[in-house]
A = this chain, B = another copy of it.
């Protein structure tokens, strides 16, 4: 699969592809996506063979069992990727839709048309399914994408890219709408994110270090997919049975993802009634408890929390726990230690719920629901390319529509300005 490659040529080919793709109608794009889904199934053996090379190299390099599991493709996972692409086919196509067309006093018709962003740079880590998800969403949005996945998934990503390009060719669309950088050398990432005017947006998904480095060196707009340091605040007026279900789900159901709870905040007035039973249940599920002094008093088998436990993205069966004096203390803790990803309150009190929704600054704010719902599919976007922790353009789960931009459309009858 190794290829000679020229980033400049890649960028020029991507730009040419956008001109063709922007003008495709929804049917053409959907035929290409259907061909991609068929190709994934038909070429499953080839995909798994390339993935086996990555797995062998990963084992030799001593990757952790968790990373190796993320990397691994089998028939079920390949079928799931194909099914994901078919779901993208079924989504509404935002491109060309004109919103808010209104007639101005001088008779001009003015509205905003959704159009592709252009060339997207997608930088991500271990899981090869991101290659297919990102490609499918970009094709649907009419964007060209340059993919740069993790070094450990290189062979898998390259064969998946070939399958996607095959689907584009079959449908008569430009294959260069989807390209992968075949060389894991980091200098190519640095050149990609400095390609002002040639890349319209970079979407980095991954660890803290990756994103820091990209922000430092980017000369093109970046939509950061940063860490999730999510809190659940159990208010004085919480239904404690509901709180127990939500906290347990937010921590345990899938601890390794960005919308899992990392810190539990509990109102002092209910700490004694709530914490011992809650922490016992979490402990039974093998969750390690790191508590403030009051938490440790109420639940002596908790470890004392250290500096850095609050504000840490554990991505593991570990939870930091703090007893707070009230709503303001919870809010200030969240704004000091949170990452602006997803924050939840459990309460029966209407006014406190509304204050939480209004005053907490995060991409998702939730009342009486598990943080695990912060997800494009759960929100009805159909699929997501990731969860933006940035404030501009897209905030929270990003779907097809967030991969588009707009242009103003003005229809006149000869109007001139006075």
The chain A residues found within 8 Å of chain B, CB to CB, are 19, 22-23, 96, 102, 104, 108, 110, 113, 115, 117-118, 196, 200-201, 215-216, 219, 221-223, 239, 242, 245-246, 248-250, 253, 335, 353, 357-359, 361-370, 372-374, 378-380, 390-393, 395-397, 405-417
Q: Which one of B365, B369, B406, B412 contacts A368 once the chains associate, using CB atoms below 8 Å?
A: B412
Known: A118-B391, A253-B417, A417-B253. A410 touches B369 (CB 8 A): yes
Inter-subunit contact A395/B406 (CB<8 Å): yes
Assembled-state Cα–Cα distance A239/B414 (Å): 9
Q: How far is the CB of A344 from chain B (nearest CB, A)?
A: 8
Inter-subunit contact B110/A380 (CB<8 Å): yes
| List of B residues within 8 angstroms of A379 by Cβ | 104, 110, 408
Query: Could you pull out 30 A-B pairs where Cβ atoms are within 8 angstroms?
Result: A23-B359, A102-B380, A104-B378, A117-B392, A118-B361, A118-B391, A200-B392, A221-B222, A221-B392, A245-B414, A248-B416, A253-B416, A353-B411, A362-B407, A363-B408, A364-B410, A365-B409, A366-B412, A368-B413, A368-B414, A369-B410, A369-B411, A369-B416, A372-B416, A373-B410, A378-B417, A379-B408, A393-B393, A396-B407, A397-B408
Inter-subunit contact A392/B245 (CB<8 Å): no
Inter-subunit contact A392/B395 (CB<8 Å): no
| List of B residues within 8 angstroms of A366 by Cβ | 409-412
| List of B residues within 8 angstroms of A23 by Cβ | 358-359
| List of B residues within 8 angstroms of A380 by Cβ | 102, 104, 110
Known: A368-B414, A412-B369. A391 touches B246 (CB 8 A): no
Q: How far is the CB of A143 from chain B (nearest CB, A)?
A: 11
Inter-subunit contact A408/B396 (CB<8 Å): yes
| List of B residues within 8 angstroms of A113 by Cβ | 357
| List of B residues within 8 angstroms of A353 by Cβ | 411
Known: A364-B410, A410-B369. A405 touches B378 (CB 8 A): no
| List of B residues within 8 angstroms of A102 by Cβ | 380
Inter-subunit contact A411/B249 (CB<8 Å): no
| List of B residues within 8 angstroms of A392 by Cβ | 117, 200-201, 221, 223, 392-393, 405
Q: How far is the CB of A160 from chain B (nearest CB, A)?
A: 27
Assembled-state Cα–Cα distance A305/B410 (Å): 30
Assembled-state Cα–Cα distance A92/B115 (Å): 27
Inter-subunit contact B219/A408 (CB<8 Å): no
Inter-subunit contact B365/A410 (CB<8 Å): yes
Considering the complex, give the chain B residue whose CB is closest to the CB of A18.
Answer: B361
Considering the complex, give the chain B residue whose CB is closest to the CB of A117.
Answer: B391
Q: How far is the CB of A376 from chain B (nearest CB, A)?
A: 10
Q: How far is the CB of A379 from chain B (nearest CB, A)?
A: 5
| List of B residues within 8 angstroms of A374 by Cβ | 408, 410
| List of B residues within 8 angstroms of A405 by Cβ | 391-392, 395
Q: Which one of B357, B359, B370 contacts A409 once the chains associate, using CB atoms below 8 Å?
A: B357
Inter-subunit contact A221/B409 (CB<8 Å): no
